[in-house]
Amino acid sequence: MAQANPMLSLDALTFQNAKAALEQGCTAIGAGETVFDLGGVKAADSSALALMLAWQRRAHAQGRALAFANVPANIDALAKLYGVDELIARA
């Protein structure tokens, strides 16, 4: 199994940092990362789901799969609420 991404270092996935987080994730995907560890995320809103899906689309466009490890409970709850929990790949 691939190791969780050391290049993705985010403590929040919110509307306020979504653009920077998207760029950081895309850079990591471009460098070949296939697992993002979200264990350090302390604050998240629905932007987190949009980011995760966007990162997965970017990885897919590059012929790779992207999975997420240590997804915080609040992101899981939002994913279930919005009916997209099955779209989020888990490591």
What is the CATH number for 60? Answer: 3.30.750.24
24 within 8 A of 6, measured Cβ to Cβ: no
What's the number of domains the chain is made of?
1
| DSSP output for 1-38 | -PPP-SS---SEESGGGHHHHHHHHHHHHHTT--EEE-
Task: Give the pLDDT of the chain (91 residues) as one tens digit per residue.
Answer: 445 545 577 899 999 999 999 999 999 999 999 999 999 999 999 999 999 999 999 999 999 999 999 999 999 999 999 999 999 999 9
Is 37:70 a contact under the CB 8 Å cutoff?
Answer: yes
In a domain, 48, yes or no: yes
pLDDT of residue 7: 58
Which domain does 66 fall in, by range? Answer: 12-87
Residue identified by tokens 């992207």 is: 66
Q: What's the confidence (pLDDT) of residue 5?
A: 46
The answer to whether 34 and 69 have CB atoms below 8 angstroms apart is no
